[in-house]
A and B are shown apart, each in its own frame.
Chain A
């Protein structure tokens, strides 16, 4: 058994994310309840939400960002619900994924999805059903496009090398 050596210089990018405000990363006792109920841990031998939090606390964030591990999570939030200490590996995964992309790692993990989304049903919010449960007007599409531009999404996609219509 090895002792958990908590890194004194926590990765601020993760700890200062607005989503981390309510999450008690430092209270993790490595009990493993998160991994016990994790569907992704059942499917992928190397995945364990407990280890994601351990690496985060040990400050080995670069390792997490460069490798595949964080992309195995299925975002079911069972870990988030069951953690007896108010921790949330699922939220940590989301923050880390975003950080990985920002730093130019793991782009292959999302490029294909971004490509697909642009060409499939979400492109214009139109469905396959003529009467239109869901059909955005041209005006609404323009507004959403402007929001995407203003919020930096266009440049995010450019960084991924995705060219949306």
Chain B
């Protein structure tokens, strides 16, 4: 990863559903002095539509050819994506287009700076039990590129959570998909409900205070479906889900509005109160 300047590749899902979580990555970079370009001109990576089956390869390639040309114009050294699907999509498209450029995920930059971050925290996660879930498209598509842990058991977020003072706890079927399923989320939610319930029931048994994620799709699915599943199955869940950018921004001292706490389906009030005590 180059130290100099990153091209920040923003996420459609995060920008739409948890817009402040997208802002938080920039706030953390600013705090750390990490240089980046926030280019308003890049489009979607088309990943969501591509994996849902509504974007043919040819279209995905051409849309990203434009994105890569914007990256080149910006004189950045690499791309940092805030979404694991963008991360994998841009890696795949750059290979197919023969446009060699380093692509990283935002959480990889955060991992690199985890010691610096832990030194400037206003609050920490001491006494908190955290479970992590890594995005499938982060670990499983370019599985050889997983450097912290391995593809079957990535521990990048675990290391980040530990550096924030949390106790990271294990749970069954860690690598199970969150249940988003791309086209399933948009069309028929049987897949989402069954897989998300299985995931959340495994997590519940570990009794964590929060679920830490780095993927907009996982954040949306694990957060939103808790409400739906509670209503349909009567099982009590109520486990706060936080994106790593929201969590760190909160620990750096920002107020709940700055992380967009109100955009979460599972209320964060109690968690935030405990953190800020």
A residues whose Cβ falls under 8 Å from a Cβ of B: 17-19, 39-40, 42-44, 71-72, 74-78, 80-82, 94, 97-98, 101-102, 109-110, 112-114, 116-117, 121-122, 125, 127-129, 132-137, 139-140, 143-144, 147-148, 150-153, 156, 160
Indicate if the CB atoms of A74 and B182 lie closer than 8 Å: yes
A18 to B48, CA, bound (A): 20
Residues of B within 8 A of A112 (CB): 186-187
Q: Give chain B's interface residue range (CB within 8 Å of chain A).
A: 35 or more
- State the Cβ distance, B109 to closest chain A Cβ, in Å: 18
Residues of A within 8 A of B194 (CB): 42-43
A135 to B57, CA, bound (A): 25
Q: Within 8 Å of chain A (Cβ to Cβ): is B30? A: no
Known: A97-B53, A113-B183. A74 touches B195 (CB 8 A): yes
A137 to B41, CA, bound (A): 7
Q: Do most interface residues of chain A lie in helix, strand or loop, or is the interface mixed?
A: helix
Indicate if the CB atoms of B16 and A121 lie closer than 8 Å: yes
Residues of B within 8 A of A156 (CB): 56, 59
**Interchain pairs with CB closer than 8 A, number:** 157
Q: Within 8 Å of chain A (Cβ to Cβ): is B75? A: no
Indicate if the CB atoms of B176 and A39 lie closer than 8 Å: yes
Indicate if the CB atoms of B54 and A148 lie closer than 8 Å: no
Indicate if the CB atoms of B20 and A129 lie closer than 8 Å: yes
A156 to B49, CA, bound (A): 13
Residues of B within 8 A of A40 (CB): 181, 191
Residues of B within 8 A of A98 (CB): 53, 56-57
A127 to B17, CA, bound (A): 8
Show 26 residue pairs from A and B whose CB-CB distance is below 8 angstroms, ordered by the A residue.
A75-B51, A76-B140, A81-B141, A101-B53, A102-B56, A110-B52, A110-B183, A112-B187, A113-B183, A114-B54, A122-B12, A122-B48, A125-B44, A127-B16, A128-B16, A128-B19, A129-B19, A129-B20, A134-B40, A143-B41, A144-B43, A144-B63, A147-B63, A148-B63, A152-B58, A153-B55
Indicate if the CB atoms of B22 and A144 lie closer than 8 Å: no
A93 to B191, CA, bound (A): 17
Q: Closest A-chain residue to B137, C-beta based?
A: A77
Indicate if the CB atoms of B59 and A153 lie closer than 8 Å: yes
- State the Cβ distance, B20 to closest chain A Cβ, in Å: 7
Residues of A within 8 A of B66 (CB): 143-144, 147
Residues of A within 8 A of B184 (CB): 74
